[in-house]
Amino acid sequence: MYALEHYGELDQEYRKRQMRKWRTFVAMCSLTAASLLGCVGFKVGETMTTKSSYEGYIKEAANSPEQSEREKYYTDAIKIDPRRGEAYHNLLQLCIRGADGSENDFDREETARLTSVLGYKGSGNRTNESYFEGNKEEYDEFAFQMGLAYFYSYEGGEKSGKSMSQTWFEKAAESESLDKDKKELSKRFASIAAYYASLDSVDESGYSTTSYGDYWIDLVSLTDGDLTSVVNPETALVMYKELVYRIDENALDFKRAGVTKGELLGELEETKKTLETTSFASTNANQTDINEQKKQEILNNISSAKEHVQVAFESRGTGGDADAE
C-alpha cells in the first residue's frame, strides 16, 4: 500500500539510479575509447620513430627493391649518426653491386653521390666523413673497401680508378685497427696504384717509362696466399681476374722488363689451380651461382692468356735474356 501511495517518489528514485548507471556506462566507454586511441597513437608513434631511427632506415633499405630508394635510406641513416659505419658500408656495396648484387661497376655518378654524402655538413661545420673518421675501426675498413672499389670497379675497371684508389689504400695502410693482412695488401695496392699514372707514358725510344719488372712483383704479390680469408669471395674473384687480364694484356711489356715466359705461365697455372680448388660460396645462393660463373670466365681467360704469352715470346729481338723460359 505504501508503494502505491508513494509511487511517484519511488519512480523518481529509480530514474536517478538509472541515470547514474548510464553516466557510469558512458564514462567507462569513454575511457575505453580513449585507451584504444592511446594504444593506436602509441603504436603509430612507435612505428614512425622506428622508421626514422638509424636501425629503421637500415631495415627499410634492406626491404626496398629500388637502388635509389635504398641509397636514400642509407643516406638518411648517416645523417642521423655519421659516426656509425654500417650505412656507409652498405651504401658503398650497393653502388658497386647494384640492387640485385649482380653488378661490379662503380660509375662516375655513384662516386659523385657517395662523395657528396661523405662531404655533407648539415647545419654544422663538420663533414660526415670527419665524424666517421673518429670511428677508427669502421673508417679504416671503409677506406680499404673504397680503395678496392676504385681499383677494380670504377667505370668497369678503368685505369683512372686505379690511380684514384691510391689515397684510400694509403689511409688503410696506416691503420692501427686493420689486421696485418689487409694492411700489407693496402701497401701493395698503393704501390701498384702509383704505377698507373705512367703505365701508358713512353720515352723517346717508344718504351714505357714505368718499370714493368717492379710492377710484376707487386702485381703477383696481391694474390699470394689465401685471398678468401682476407677479402670476400666476390673481391677475391675480381683480384684473380685482374691478374690474368694484366698478364694477357701486358705479356710483351713484362717480357721486355725481364720477366720470363716460365714465370708468366707459372703464375697463370698457379691461379688456375687455386680457382679450381677454392670454394667461392656466398651466404646468398644466387650470389654463389654468380661467383661460379665468374670463376669459369676467369678459367677461360687463363687459356687465352697462355696463348698470348706464347705469342709474345715467339717474337724475337724484343727482350734479350727475357726470351729465356
Q: Model confidence over 290-302: pLDDT tens digits?
A: 999 999 999 999 9
Query: What are the grid coordinates assigned to 314, written together?
Result: 715467339
The residues with which 154 forms a beta bridge, in sequence order, are: 106
Q: What is the mean pLDDT of residues 208-214?
A: 75
Higher pLDDT, 178 or 206: 178
DSSP 215-246: HHHHHHHTT-S-GGGTS-HHHHHHHHHHHHHH
Whole-Å CA distances, 9 to 17, 19, 22, 250, 259? 13, 15, 20, 114, 120
For residue 40, pLDDT over 50 is answered with: no
Closest CA to 80 of 102, 50, 41, 104: 50
Q: What ranges do the domains of the chain cover?
A: 198-325
For residue 193, pLDDT over 80 is answered with: yes
Q: What is the mean pLDDT of residues 8-16?
A: 55
pLDDT digits (tens, 9 = 90+) for 237-265: 999 999 999 999 999 999 999 999 999 99
Helix (H) or strand (E) holding 36: helix 7-51
- On the 0-12 / 13-18 / 19+ scale of CB atoms within 10 A, 286 is exposed
Whether this model's pTM surpasses 0.85: no
For residue 282, pLDDT over 60 is answered with: yes
Q: Residue 176's CB: how many other CB atoms inside 10 A?
A: 8
176 phi, psi to nearest 5 deg: -105, 0
Higher pLDDT, 208 or 121: 121
